[in-house]
A and B are shown apart, each in its own frame.
Chain A
Amino acid sequence: MNRFLFVLPLLTLAILAGFFGWSLLSGRDPASIGSVMVGRSAPTLPGQLGEGLIKAGKPVLVNFFASWCAPCLAEHPMFERLKSREGATIIGIAWKDKPEATRAWLQRLGDPFTRLGFDQDGKIALDWGLSGVPETYLIDAQGIVRLHFRGPITERDLGTILPLLRGGS
């Protein structure tokens, strides 16, 4: 019993060190809480925005962005690439942005979006459980949300996006 008590602090330290080590190396984001949308059918988009695209036999990416958002600028080349190399269908929704500012931004950087929507009052975003921009959803051919990304898409995320994007088409 006494010997065990001496080992206890060391054991606790080892467990903590193991947990911290795993947290650092596994690339886990402790701030990420995911989205309840994943696994559900995608919320409807207003007007003609999703018509003929969502649930139309091809996966669709839905990207919420804004011209005033720096991380959106950072992820923009990823969408350009998905569009030109993969022929991805991407619906862009400008969140709390002036339409003229959005259009100027896209003109300057290139427009990878199959269709462009505006959500100036944040109503569409609320239906999608958005917390800010950028956020991206991948919807499969059957209209089910498969992936959700909070924050900018990176090179590494393509590894999870591409199989679903190709597999479903």
Chain B
Amino acid sequence: MRSFAALRTTIMLLLALVTPALAVEPSEMLKDPALEARAREIGRALRCVVCQNQAVDDSNAEVAHDMRRAVRERLAAGDSDRQVMDFMVARYGDYVLLKPPFKSDTWLLWLGGPLVLLLAGSALLLAARKRKLEPPPAPLTDEERARLSALLGERKP
């Protein structure tokens, strides 16, 4: 039993170490580890434009490879992270950002979920309160009770 538990723990621990494979190839990496770290940060925030829901760093697509290279070229040329992001947005639009900015045409995207939650929550709350306010039904009068027992009595064989 104990060895099973140990085995299970080991497997769990090993699974915890598993990370998704990066598509960044060694040949693409920058020599300066600080710059490379910034490039990774940016690559994780950029959407691969042909894979729809994959970051540039996770994609093997040709375009993603080109984008990674462009990010590193800009960084090596002395651009700030912000400037590199702007460089990509100027070419591919907000779509290229995995976290779209909050602005006039994206507010619904950001607030839509909480808004629906708020609406549904208040509707539920209102309904619950209304139900509570309804007075309990009046108890049966003597006459009704007599009729009820007569009816029940009739059904008995």
A139 within 8 A of B: no
Residue pair B49, A131 in contact (C-beta under 8 Å): yes
Residue pair B93, A132 in contact (C-beta under 8 Å): no
Residue pair A122, B66 in contact (C-beta under 8 Å): yes
Residues of B within 8 A of A129 (CB): 91-93
Residue pair A121, B50 in contact (C-beta under 8 Å): no
Residues of B within 8 A of A81 (CB): none
Q: Total number of A-B contacts with CB less than 8 angstroms?
A: 37
Q: Tally chain A residues at the interface, Cβ within 8 Å.
A: 17
Residue pair A127, B63 in contact (C-beta under 8 Å): no
Do most interface residues of chain A lie in helix, strand or loop, or is the interface mixed? loop
* Residues of chain A in range 43-76 having any CB-CB distance to chain B below 8 Å: none
Q: Which residue of B lies closest to A129 (CB)?
A: B91
Max chain B C-beta neighbours (<10 A), residue from A34, A122, A128:
A122
* Residues of chain B in range 67-108 having any CB-CB distance to chain A below 8 Å: 67, 70, 89-93, 95
Residues of A within 8 A of B92 (CB): 36, 129, 131
Residue pair A35, B93 in contact (C-beta under 8 Å): yes
A126 within 8 A of B: yes
B134 within 8 A of A: no
Residue pair B62, A122 in contact (C-beta under 8 Å): yes
Q: How far is the CA of A121 from the CA of B73 in the complex (A)?
A: 13
Residue pair A130, B63 in contact (C-beta under 8 Å): yes
Residue pair B93, A33 in contact (C-beta under 8 Å): yes
A138 within 8 A of B: no
Q: Which residue of B lies closest to A132 (CB)?
A: B50
Distance (Å) between the CB of A127 and the closest chain B CB? 6
Residues of B within 8 A of A166 (CB): none
Q: Which residue of A lies closest to B70 (CB)?
A: A126
* Residues of chain A in range 86-126 having any CB-CB distance to chain B below 8 Å: 96, 121-123, 125-126
Residue pair A127, B91 in contact (C-beta under 8 Å): yes
Q: How far is the CA of A34 from the CA of B93 in the complex (A)?
A: 9
Residue pair B91, A128 in contact (C-beta under 8 Å): yes
Residues of A within 8 A of B65 (CB): 122
> Of the candidates B50, B70, B89, B90, which one forms a contact with A131 in the assembled complex, judged by CB atoms under 8 Å apart?
B50
Residues of A within 8 A of B66 (CB): 121-123, 125-126
Residues of B within 8 A of A34 (CB): 93
Residue pair A132, B63 in contact (C-beta under 8 Å): yes
Q: Which residue of A lies closest to B48 (CB)?
A: A131
> Of the candidates B63, B89, B90, which one forms a contact with A122 in the assembled complex, judged by CB atoms under 8 Å apart?
B63
Distance (Å) between the CB of A129 and the closest chain B CB? 4
Residues of B within 8 A of A37 (CB): 91
Distance (Å) between the CB of B120 and the closest chain A CB? 13
Q: How far is the CA of A36 from the CA of B30 in the complex (A)?
A: 30
Interface residues of A (CB under 8 A from B): 33-37, 96, 121-123, 125-132
List, sorted by A's number, 14 A–B pairs whose CB atoms are closer than 8 Å: A33-B95, A35-B93, A37-B91, A121-B66, A122-B62, A122-B66, A123-B66, A125-B66, A126-B91, A127-B91, A128-B91, A131-B49, A131-B50, A132-B62
Extra A-B contacts (7), CB below 8 Å, given A123-B70, A129-B92? A34-B93, A36-B91, A37-B91, A125-B63, A126-B67, A131-B63, A132-B63
